[in-house]
Amino acid sequence: MEQRTYNQYCATARTLDIVGERWTLLLIRELLTGPKRFGDLQASLRGLGTGLLAARLKHLEREGLAHKIMLPPPARTPAYALTEAGEELGPPVLALARWGMKWAMGERRAEETFHPGWAVLGLRACFNAEAAAGLHAVYEFRIDDEPFHARVKDGTIEALHGPAQNPDATITTTTDAFLRMAYQGLTLTRAIESGAATASGDREALRRLAALFRLPSSRTR
């Protein structure tokens, strides 16, 4: 597959030559939350055919943004991980996510899919470092039984797929309730009162949770 180019000696154009093709940035998004197997990527990126996925991964390898690794035991299976150059695309991808929350989301379309794992990057994009000053806590989230967790350490966050070993607080909810909390103003307290969510663990960690993630106010373009 011939790679298209803008043929411009410009940093922005050169970057878009590398990551501007359809699905490429979404692959970066998936790998920003840790190594993924080919099947993991297929499951998260519905609509991306096997052949095109393989082509996009080869492109990322060729451009030095991703490389193959072997997952440690007990998995012991091949996977893809970002290189240093790929990891440095994290801030631009998070900036795009924040822009999208403000200017592009709106109502969910009937044909649009949602994968709970995408919330991992959303936690990073919405993290309020000032509100996390002095806080050391591990939060585990379960959306329709898919777990991920966030480690908050004095103004910094590490958000990862999978359950936490010793979470200070655990929040369980459904995809529908999570989306309403993220984009329609439903608070965790109201979600708990209605039975759409449950929360357990350290009271202080739960009390501070609401201030840790600040979504941009939605605007009309």
In the numeric block, which tokens belong to residue 65?
């943004």
CA distance 56 to 62: 10
Q: Which domains does the chain have, with CATH numbers?
A: 11-88 (1.10.10.10), 116-212 (3.30.1050.10)
| Among 159, 163, 171, CA closest to 209 | 171
Of all residues in the chain, what percent are helix, strand and coil, respectively (each to 5)? 45, 20, 35
Q: Are 180 and 105 in contact (CB under 8 A)?
A: no
* pTM more than 0.95: no
Q: What 3-state class would DSSP assign to 7? A: coil
Interval 156-198: pLDDT, tens = 999 999 999 999 999 999 999 999 988 888 899 999 999 999 9
Confidence of residue 1 (pLDDT cuts 50, 70, 90): low
Q: How many CB atoms lie within 10 A of CB 33?
A: 21
Listed in sequence order, the DSSP H helices in the chain are 11-19, 24-31, 38-44, 50-62, 84-87, 90-103, 119-126, 175-183, 188-194, 203-212
The model's pLDDT over 49-73, given as tens digits with 9 standing for 90+, comes to 999 999 999 999 999 999 999 998 8
Nearest to 57 by CA among 75, 84, 36: 36
The pLDDT tens digits of the residues spanning 119-130 come to 999 999 999 999
Residue 33: name the closest of 162, 116, 121, 115 by CA: 121
